[in-house]
Structure 1
């Protein structure tokens, strides 16, 4: 089979016997294992606090450090994709993931585990942009929805079962086994990928601009660090948070100016000239803010207010994640057939309905009600994420594929940090506001009631964000792809 594949520089190269299915399967396996281990660790945070004798603000660095590494590396992934071949980057990403996972499995101290998380993040930062760019290069536009839907299944299903499986592991084994179980799966991924992965693009090796990389690091790193620190309890008035956010904004401003004036930018901002890319990007950012903030609020509610174990809480979160994953390929097929508009509009309606329901939860809410709301939320998410992302990327010319995927993946990480930080801040402010003036000062349940009041405030903000997304959804138009 002969396939013409557009290279990153816009030229066309001919590849013989490209085995598309094994290449896609390689990415599916690698992506599943990598994303599973990330969410699985979240359920072990209490165990890590006890084992290492550290505080909650310290253990959160396992998440902050991971996000910070992604925030620094993903923005330059567009350039990295043009410097190395598909096969080189795929194997390198898995090597980093394997090394990081092994270090984590044997980590004797928190510092060593922190290093392991950073190494793991390097692997993820290489894999995700490479995966999406390869799909854009290999798969014709009319079939991309189905393949992106399969990727969505992996991206949704792996994080969904991570907390449940880790809860089961932690009932009988130590947190180290979360990583020991991941290692052989990563081994299968690298062996399978080493055999089947092929180069689908020709590296053009553009000039590396050190100043752009430095400004990108300060800009995106400062934003992620600032919001993450604020969300972890540093507070918005903290000098550390203010300095990080100011440095991040200035860094991004200078980075943007430099990219617009360079002949060969490391992140080509010409992608923002395409309206459906911009709208798709904004919708993706909105959904990621809502999703990640909900995924941090709900486990806290289940364990704090309903006093459920980590394993039980993980089980309650599982159905929504599974349904979201199973629906992703279906939504991909519907997108290929009908386009994005009549998926994203009802998707936002469902998300708003679920969020309104979450503003009513209290200390007596049933588990079934929570599961039902989460399922509705996840159905809405599955109707928006893949169609918005695929439709937006479809409008870009092939030479902007690496940059478009870099922009989308970067802003997903940034929006995740922003969404969780705002959610936790509103949770804390709502809780404190109730405790300062409770309805019944002697009620022993006041701390739990106050916590639910904080949750209501966080979910009300999410409703406002979802409403903005709903309005934008009416402006979505199906992209008629003229390039191959």
Structure 2
């Protein structure tokens, strides 16, 4: 039997609980990208090399990949307010520790703690949204969510570039602390609980397999380079093996206990198609986000701040278009958005294969805005369609799986484009080519591979339904106990 959950009517407005969660999510996601421009300062202040400095980003990604699979189970066991308080409390503790870190090791520990809190916020937001917003209004509300979560990463490098012109890197954390503290206090005071927590013991072996498996997979992918293939490949193989053990364990727990990540979400065809589309689109997006700054700074010699300002309009366009995309989705369904969006992704990535030493900046800006707008047209409907195809008691597990695959896709996309670019450039240099010309050619090839992969996004867009109900609402899942119907509970 499936739990019957009736969402409260919103009257077309974004519920307060969602507004508060969006605000908190904006703060933690902003922090995820705010350290990008701080690498040179870290190297000087903490006396570390570039490889070590990159760990401030790598360790964040690793922690996210390890923690997100646990959130599906976690969000079903605690109330909305408690999950929010734990996530933001952990994030604040990590931010404070990072601000006063006397050594690089302590800074990394602070980033791990920050990421632990961040990993909970997005699944919490998506699960709550799917529960309290009726299906006919989800597109609009999801569009407003897209605005916040798209603008935040776009603003991160620009904000950090401005701060670092006047202060040291520690101020990136010091300035976040009071903002995050105020958001946490306001949210906890006004947030309402959604639904009732369910009983269930945690399977610690599943936690270990998930953390080690997804962690090894993401770390192995992040370490790939033409000069270093064997060791990362072994890590990736080990990660895949551990993830396979984790999956087998979940299948067993679905019959005999409480799974950490319920794989029955994959029985919903629309969810699985959306999962594939989102993973490939995220891979292409992260690949381009890695290549474009390398091109602008390494080939065109722009500063980090100038690069941030050039790519910011694309992120802002993606976010500002979110509410409009949501309204169109509510009225016409997903296909009128996802199909053109997927084509736009491929066209923009193909356009980036034409980069040169003197390509006009307006063309680069136009291609990047096209990519971001196309991603907005695809992401909002696909998120809504995918989760809407699940029965309500699997919303948290669906959100967790989407988040986990995004982290893996991000790592794979980054590893793919960097490895392809570096290998191609090295081969050309050995053949007598100029280093800059060789690097540029490697970037073109990497963009070309991303464009080729994005064709899969078009294929998946063509097989997605216009609405989740078109293929039947929910997965054909049988559960022994009927989950309690969530309702807003005021303190």
TM (norm. structure 2) is: 0.91
**Within the alignment, does 1:26 sit opposite 2:20 as a pair?**
yes
1:227 — aligned with what?
A: 221
CA deviations on 1:278-317 (whole Å, 9 max, x unpaired) are: 1111111111111111111111111111111111111101
Compute the displacement of 1:10 (Å).
2.7
**Within the alignment, does 1:90 sit opposite 2:84 as a pair?**
yes
Alignment length (residue pairs): 468
- For residues 122 and 368 of structure 1, the distance between their equivalents in structure 2, rounded to whole angstroms, comes to 39
CA deviations on 1:393-451 (whole Å, 9 max, x unpaired) are: 10100111111111111111111111111111111112112211235xxxxxx222111
Q: Where has structure 1 moved over 4 Å in runs of 4 or more?
A: 11-17, 481-484
- For residues 61 and 184 of structure 1, the distance between their equivalents in structure 2, rounded to whole angstroms, comes to 25
List gaps (5 residues or longer) in structure 2.
Answer: 475-484, 486-491
- For residues 365 and 78 of structure 1, the distance between their equivalents in structure 2, rounded to whole angstroms, comes to 46
RMSD: 2.1
1:200 — aligned with what?
A: 194
Compute the displacement of 1:235 (Å).
2.5
With over 3 angstroms needed to count, the CA separation of the structure-2 counterparts of 1:427 and 1:14, relative to structure 1, is closer
Compute the displacement of 1:243 (Å).
2.9
Compute the displacement of 1:319 (Å).
0.5
Q: Secondary structure at the match of 2:468?
A: coil
Identify the structure with bigger relative contact order (alpha carbons < 8 Å, sequence gap 6+).
2
1:166 and 1:178 in contact (8 A); partners too = yes
List gaps (5 residues or longer) in structure 1.
Answer: 1-7, 440-445
1:256 — aligned with what?
A: 247
Compute the displacement of 1:482 (Å).
4.8
1:169 and 1:178 in contact (8 A); partners too = yes
Identify the range of structure 1 (184-193 vs 257-266) with the bigger mean alpha-carbon deviation. 257-266
1:9 and 1:204 in contact (8 A); partners too = no
2:283 and 2:410 in contact (8 A); partners too = yes
**Within the alignment, does 1:334 sit opposite 2:328 as a pair?**
yes
With over 3 angstroms needed to count, the CA separation of the structure-2 counterparts of 1:46 and 1:169, relative to structure 1, is same
- For residues 467 and 166 of structure 1, the distance between their equivalents in structure 2, rounded to whole angstroms, comes to 35
1:442 — aligned with what?
A: none
2:388 and 2:473 in contact (8 A); partners too = no
With over 3 angstroms needed to count, the CA separation of the structure-2 counterparts of 1:438 and 1:350, relative to structure 1, is farther
**Within the alignment, does 1:167 sit opposite 2:161 as a pair?**
yes
Identify the range of structure 1 (404-413 vs 99-108) with the bigger mean alpha-carbon deviation. 99-108
1:474 — aligned with what?
A: 462
2:101 — aligned with what?
A: 107
1:460 — aligned with what?
A: 448
- For residues 246 and 283 of structure 2, the distance between their equivalents in structure 1, rounded to whole angstroms, comes to 24
Pairs within 5 Å for 1:277-292: 277-292=271-286
2:2 and 2:391 in contact (8 A); partners too = no
- For residues 20 and 378 of structure 1, the distance between their equivalents in structure 2, rounded to whole angstroms, comes to 24
2:356 and 2:440 in contact (8 A); partners too = yes
Compute the displacement of 1:12 (Å).
5.3
